[in-house]
Chains A and B, each alone.
Chain A
Amino acid sequence: MTDAPRKYTYYPGCSSQASAVHLDRSLRAIAPKLGVELEEIEDWNCCGASVGHIEGGTLPQTALSGRNLAKARQQGPQDVLTPCAACYLNTHGVNEKIKADVTTRKRVNQALEAGGLAYEGDLKVRHACEVLVNDVGLDKIKGQVTKPLAGLKVAGYVGCQTVRPFAGTESGGDYDTYDQPEFLDDFVRACGAEPVAYDSKTSCCGGSVSVYDPEKTLHLIKKIVQAAVDAGADVIATPCPLCQQNVEMYQAEINKTFGTNFDVPVVYYSQLMAVAFGLDGSKDAALDANMIAPLKLIDLAKKK
């Protein structure tokens, strides 16, 4: 096993610059510790997320990822890595289609021509969690822990799009299951924290529908938080920017609507790792970016 870091072309996604700064920052902070070198795609664009095609059209939506892939390829043949579930779904999905379907490949390249770009489908697009499981490995993660998060009870909320529909496929790294994924609990354990028995692991937070039509999905988020409370969790950990935002942001609204008393912090797995690796709670773990302050974690970060 080589000690030289492995380079990945990094696609951060639009939320990394605003609502998910803490994911981006903590991921960049732990990457070097895990032998992962992230080189951002030069001048990347939005992937279109869940709703782009509705207004823009199917081929334009595909072309969004097409441009990102073309530009990534210009930076070398190394794998593309993205932490955002929706970005991964789009970029990986388009990449697989370009690889498999000649017609799609042709049409996308015809469109890319207008921007002076081209892409033949020779990259691999990977989710950050899959890279951590398959390339880095739990042992290495454990090996970097200098501050085990002892006593911290974590509900490992994986959500939907991180694992569905690609986690069980070969191209998706075949690294976990759709209904009972274990990787997040494994991360939590590696950091020395305790994953609780959490039965809403892959319940849907409402996704983008929660953003613009939360009335329809509040009950879904309530279920997620309630299950964490029932399991005795101190925090909910998640890999997805939309889940993190929805589950955190709407707790006040839920309390008002349902008469509950929720105040459960929602953190990223990378934030847990940052603290466990002994990094700075604010600069690296970005714990001040969480709307509901993860007090226990903040204390752990402060400890020497």
Chain B
Amino acid sequence: MSAAAPAKRNYDLGFARWVYQNVEGGDRLSLCMQCGMCSGSCPIGAKMDQGPRKLFMMIRAGMKDAVLTSDTLWNCTQCYNCVVRCPRQIKVTNILQGLARVAVAEGYVTERPTARFAKAFWRSLRMFGRTDERIVTALFYFSSGLKAGIDLGLKNLPIAQRMIKAGRMHLGLPHRAKGAAELRAILDKAAAIEKGEGAKP
């Protein structure tokens, strides 16, 4: 595990409490006994700036900036090994995912493939009520700029071709839910509810 120095040194002593109150699974954060089972079980832990164990300690130490800019949140494959093995039943994956959301919402994310992908994903979802893989892919590829988009497209063209050949790429108009507008209304309402109740971390 590479111990990269965190980007900034800003200790926010209210951060741990905020996570406790506002992030799903955060209410068990203080139960973490730093056993390291999560980091040890993580298939991709070695490629993270810090494993979940250390990240939790950083949350407790109030290292808000370092936590929300950490790549731990973005490299999690959601395999849930940590969740089923944690001796204190802490929902590690859920907390990491929750923090990823916070990082985006608070503007901490400048450049992450996951965030760009999530944006593309959500746009398709809102538009059609379903995710059309071509649209998501296209939006994602070009989210880094025209040239990058073209490069990625060309690079993955062989795969795309094979997918088409296998009949696994929908070639017609995107499938859509008839109630996409209804869905958008629901999503907007949900966002408003969340915004109204949420205190800033």
Q: Do A and B bind each other?
A: yes
Q: Contact at A18–B168, with CB atoms within 8 Å? A: yes
* Given known contacts A57-B105, A207-B77, A63 and B129 CB-to-CB distance under 8 angstroms: no
Q: Contact at B168–A19, with CB atoms within 8 Å? A: yes
Contacts of A210 in B (CB 8 A): 77
A54 CB-CB contact with B under 8 Å: yes
Q: Which of B11-19, B31-39, B56-64, B185-193 contacts A (4 or more CB under 8 A)?
A: B185-193
Q: Which of A49, A110, A220, A290 contacts B193 (CB 8 A)?
A: A110
Q: Contact at B80–A165, with CB atoms within 8 Å? A: yes
Contacts of A18 in B (CB 8 A): 132-133, 168-170
Contacts of B185 in A (CB 8 A): 114-115
Q: Contact at B131–A59, with CB atoms within 8 Å? A: no
Q: Contact at B170–A17, with CB atoms within 8 Å? A: yes
Q: Contact at B191–A52, with CB atoms within 8 Å? A: no
Q: Contact at B79–A54, with CB atoms within 8 Å? A: no
Q: Which of A40-48, A136-144, A148-156 contacts B (4 or more CB under 8 A)?
A: A40-48
Q: Which residue of B is nearest A220, CB measured?
A: B43
A204 CB-CB contact with B under 8 Å: yes
Q: Which of A43, A57, A205 contacts B194 (CB 8 A)?
A: A57
Q: Which residue of B is nearest A15, CB measured?
A: B133
Q: Contact at A55–B98, with CB atoms within 8 Å? A: no
B54 CB-CB contact with A under 8 Å: no
B159 CB-CB contact with A under 8 Å: yes
Q: Which of B24, B104, B132, B190 has the most chain A CB atoms closer than 10 A to its own CB?
A: B190
A271 CB → nearest B CB, Å: 13
Cα(A58)–Cα(B194), bound, Å: 8
Contacts of B125 in A (CB 8 A): 45-46, 48, 52, 56, 64
Cα(A47)–Cα(B182), bound, Å: 15
When each residue 205-239 of chain A gets 1 if its CB lies under 8 Å from chain B and 0 otherwise, what string results? 11111111100110010000000000000000000
Interface of B is mostly: helix
Cα(A48)–Cα(B136), bound, Å: 13
Cα(A255)–Cα(B14), bound, Å: 49
When each residue 76-107 of chain B gets 1 if its CB lies under 8 Å from chain A and 0 otherwise, what string results? 11111101100000000000011011001100
A66 CB-CB contact with B under 8 Å: yes
Q: Contact at B170–A55, with CB atoms within 8 Å? A: no
Q: Contact at B101–A21, with CB atoms within 8 Å? A: no
Q: Contact at A213–B80, with CB atoms within 8 Å? A: no
B177 CB-CB contact with A under 8 Å: yes
Q: Which of B79, B140, B169 has the most chain A CB atoms closer than 10 A to its own CB?
A: B79
Q: Which of A44, A50, A114 contacts B189 (CB 8 A)?
A: A114
Segment 107-166 of A: residues with Cβ below 8 Å from B = 107-108, 110-117, 160-161, 164-165
B166 CB-CB contact with A under 8 Å: yes
Cα(A216)–Cα(B116), bound, Å: 16
* Given known contacts A18-B133, A19-B133, A54-B114, A59 and B190 CB-to-CB distance under 8 angstroms: yes
Segment 53-75 of A: residues with Cβ below 8 Å from B = 53-60, 62-64, 66-67
Told that A107-B190, A160-B81 touch, could you supply 8 new A-B pairs with CB distance under 8 A?
A14-B130, A14-B132, A45-B177, A64-B125, A113-B189, A204-B43, A216-B75, A291-B165
A-B contact pairs, 29 of them (CB 8 A): A14-B130, A18-B132, A18-B168, A19-B133, A45-B179, A51-B118, A51-B121, A52-B121, A52-B125, A54-B100, A55-B104, A57-B101, A57-B194, A60-B187, A63-B189, A66-B186, A67-B179, A110-B193, A114-B185, A160-B77, A165-B80, A207-B77, A209-B77, A212-B116, A216-B44, A249-B163, A289-B166, A291-B162, A291-B165
